[in-house]
Amino acid sequence: MAVTVGRGFLLQPCSYSSSPIFHNKIYRPSTGSATAFWSTSAPRRYPQVVVQAQQRPTWLPGLDPPPHLDGTLAGDYGFDPLGLGENPESLKWYVQAELVHARFAMAGVAGILFTDLLRVTGISNLPVWYEAGAVKFDFASTTTLIVVQFFLMGFAETKRYMDFISPGSQAKEGSFFGLEAALEGLEPGYPGGPLLNPLGLAKDIKNAHEWKLKEIKNGRLAMIAMLGIFVQAYVTHAGPIDNLVEHLSNPWHKTIIQTLSTSS
């Protein structure tokens, strides 16, 4: 019989028949010819319930994950309070969407911190990250850059979507100007090949659960960090390295609490 309380539990019947207390006479009158009041010449079995907790971490300890999140996905901790992934087809798309957003966030956070560090240290005369889009470049106009970006991003996203609806289709000969081998997909969301996997990590993508878990964990952290950088720039009108330097200059009085109270 299975019972679920908080986490999953498995109830198993056991026996005390091996215990000597159930093989001996428990009570016998000391006088008279009356027979024993209770004799256990034959072993008697009594059921025992053993509770065994299923070891699966969830985003909230003690919470039962929904049935459609069975722990097979990388980074699955049962978080779906709105039930968005109840449809299996929708769940597949949400997995890919989270993966792409995580990768963009990791690239964005790394780029913002690196360029901000160069700016603050005076190594390069770069604009703060939220003003970089307004900078005019000599080699091309803003309109040209936007058109090129739309074309390149549109092409990449179209290829990704086609590989999602038909896995492996983008590695077929003639689908990418003869460069299909360089972009040979391991599975949807993991294109692989020497261009996108130059170090050859996780070549066996079916058994690369640890690599997938590390990537999605870092990606989720980067998405939260990106949100923090957005809010930080809106409130302080400064870059993250500037905010860090200001905090370290007076850690007890330059905190998020003082910053929010001052800005309000």
DSSP letter for 49, please. Answer: E
Task: For residues 135-148, give the mean pLDDT.
Answer: 88
Q: Rounded to an integer, what distance in angstroms lies between the CA atom of residue 84 and that of residue 94?
A: 8
Q: Rounded to an integer, what distance in angstroms lies between the CA atom of residue 195 and that of residue 193?
A: 6
**Helix or strand (DSSP H, E) at 215:** helix 209-236
pLDDT in tens, 48-78: 554 444 568 888 888 889 999 988 899 999 9
Pair 87, 93: CB distance under 8 Å = no
Lowest mean pLDDT among 7-21, 79-93, 134-148, 173-187: 7-21
The predicted pLDDT at position 21 comes to 43
Burial of 218 (0-12, 13-18, 19+ CB in 10 A): middle
- Give the model's confidence band at 116: pLDDT under 50 very low, under 70 low, under 90 confident, else very high: very high
The predicted pLDDT at position 254 comes to 85
The predicted pLDDT at position 183 comes to 65
The predicted pLDDT at position 264 comes to 63
Pair 199, 206: CB distance under 8 Å = no
Q: Rounded to an integer, what distance in angstroms lies between the CA atom of residue 166 and that of residue 162?
A: 6
165: left (phi over 0), alpha (psi -120 to 50) or beta: alpha
Task: For residues 226-245, give the mean pLDDT.
Answer: 92
Lowest mean pLDDT among 101-105, 107-111, 170-174, 225-229: 170-174
pLDDT in tens, 166-214: 876 766 766 666 666 666 666 788 877 777 777 877 777 778 889 899 9
- How open is the CA angle 91-226-261, to the nearest 5 degrees? 125
76: left (phi over 0), alpha (psi -120 to 50) or beta: beta
Q: Could you tell me where the beta strands, DSSP code E, fall in the chain? A: 2-5, 7-14, 48-53
Proportion of the chain above pLDDT 90, given as a percent:
37
The predicted pLDDT at position 23 comes to 46
Task: For residues 73-88, give the mean pLDDT.
Answer: 91
